Amino acid sequence: MRFYPPRGLKIVKAYMQYVWDEAWNKYLDYYNGYGVGFLGHRNPKVVAKLVEQLGTLVINSPSFDDPAKEEVLRKLPLVLPQKLLNVYFQNSGTEAVELALKLALNYTKRSKVVAFKKAFHGRTLGSLSLTWGSEYRKPADQALYKGVVFASFNDVEEVEKVIDEETAAVFVEPVQGEGGINPADPEFLNALAKRAREVGAVLVYDEIQAGFGRTGHVWAYQGLGAPDPDVLLSAKAIGNGYPVSLVAVSDELAESVVPGMHGSTYGANPMALAAVSAAVEVLLEDDVPRQAREKGKFFQDLFEEKLKDVRIVRDYRAVGLMIGVELRVKPGKYIEALQKEKVLALKAGATVIRFLPPYVTTEEDVRFAVDTLKKVLTS
């Protein structure tokens, strides 16, 4: 079933920021598996850890302990906020959103949920209910959760009106990814947190795309000066290609958990946890957030220099290495042209060309990407 339009490219090998096709043409990969390979394709430290794990224990039942679990529980406090040290692992972003939703409904016994226009939270029925785009919702619209209210992103005045005593949860991406690389205003995030606290709603930050160093801070909300949420969701980069997602919650929410209320056969399997431990090591040893911050700034400066006067460019924004170039037209044919020139990019929103470079990308890569972008946008 072709759910994704084919890009006409067979990739046979990948290493760090590059991939190769059958004819051994090399591409700069800023598509990066929807941002999954943020630490670089086959990052040697992650690969070594996975190989080591493969030699000892590959599966374990969730009721039993194992060294991979103990290690990840030692490592995670190095990157998680102090308030959110109760964790659960599953396999994909959408599962993390489903669990957050279930926890919030169970904890508050309320049914209204606030999400935002242009939000993307996943494609299973609970997470799809929180996803804004009608193109995603259409196939199952009749089955989606009716309790969701969509408010305007970055509209501080609406916050007080829409979040009330009936609200179980507020789901927000501190930087919207699929919606078009839209960072939340610090003022907006602070207003959300304040209002959620006032009415007793659970505040959920979905950092499945933005989190784990990409925006120049371990968590995007930290760079936006926002308070800790009640629930933080991560996936993609946290396993650097090994499918895994993380739900991290406050003590209050964790206390509401009883055995049997949730589960996942593959959740917290030792291979996934080994990948997360290795990813945390890389993040800290290489100071990935700082590199993302500096390289993002380099992108932004080059955009200023090279794209400012390009007529079809409406705007450009580099939130660390979460990068969007907004056009006045649909971006499809330019993304195709970039691919022909050996740069892989993807779309975000209706008109944005998105780059999700791994942190190992070099200044030379960035120059090549921006020059190539200018070339395809002006020829």
Ligand X SMILES: Cc1ncc(COP(=O)(O)O)c(C=O)c1O
Footprint on this chain of ligand X (rule: CB under 6 A)? 34, 92-94, 97, 120-122, 173, 177-178, 206, 208-209, 235
Residue nearest to ligand X (CB): 93
- Taking the C-alpha atoms of residue 193 and residue 67, their distance in angstroms, rounded to an integer, is 37
What is the nearest approach in angstroms of ligand X to the Cβ of residue 310?
A: 28
Q: Could you tell me whether strands 18-21 and 175-176 are parallel, antiparallel, or unpaired per DSSP bridges?
A: unpaired
The CA radius of gyration of the chain, in Å to the nearest whole number, is 20
Whose Cβ is closer to ligand X: residue 229's or residue 370's? 229
What is the nearest approach in angstroms of ligand X to the Cβ of residue 241?
A: 12
Whose Cβ is closer to ligand X: residue 29's or residue 173's? 173
What is the nearest approach in angstroms of ligand X to the Cβ of residue 226?
A: 16
Whose Cβ is closer to ligand X: residue 126's or residue 331's? 126
What is the nearest approach in angstroms of ligand X to the Cβ of residue 179?
A: 9
Residue 374 contacts by C-beta under 8 Å, 6 or more apart in sequence? 306, 307, 310
Whose Cβ is closer to ligand X: residue 231's or residue 376's? 231
Whose Cβ is closer to ligand X: residue 97's or residue 279's? 97
What is the nearest approach in angstroms of ligand X to the Cβ of residue 349?
A: 12
- Taking the C-alpha atoms of residue 192 and residue 169, their distance in angstroms, rounded to an integer, is 11
What is the nearest approach in angstroms of ligand X to the Cβ of residue 267?
A: 14
Q: Which of 322, 220, 283 is nearest to 46 (CA)?
A: 283
- Taking the C-alpha atoms of residue 295 and residue 127, their distance in angstroms, rounded to an integer, is 32
Q: First-to-last CA distance in the chain?
A: 35
H helices of 147-287, where? 156-162, 186-199, 220-223, 251-255, 270-285
What is the nearest approach in angstroms of ligand X to the Cβ of residue 182?
A: 12
Whose Cβ is closer to ligand X: residue 359's or residue 376's? 359
What is the nearest approach in angstroms of ligand X to the Cβ of residue 34?
A: 5
Q: Are the beta carbons of 292 and 213 closer than 8 angstroms?
A: yes
State the DSSP string of 265-317.
TTTT-HHHHHHHHHHHHHHHHTTHHHHHHHHHHHHHHHHHHHTTT-TTEEEEE
Whose Cβ is closer to ligand X: residue 43's or residue 91's? 91
Q: What are phi and psi of 258, to 5 degrees?
A: -125, 150
What is the nearest approach in angstroms of ligand X to the Cβ of residue 196?
A: 19
Whose Cβ is closer to ligand X: residue 30's or residue 120's? 120
Whose Cβ is closer to ligand X: residue 108's or residue 127's? 127
- Taking the C-alpha atoms of residue 351 and residue 204, their distance in angstroms, rounded to an integer, is 27
Region label for 288, one of left (φ > 0), alpha (ψ between -120 and 50) or beta (otherwise)? alpha
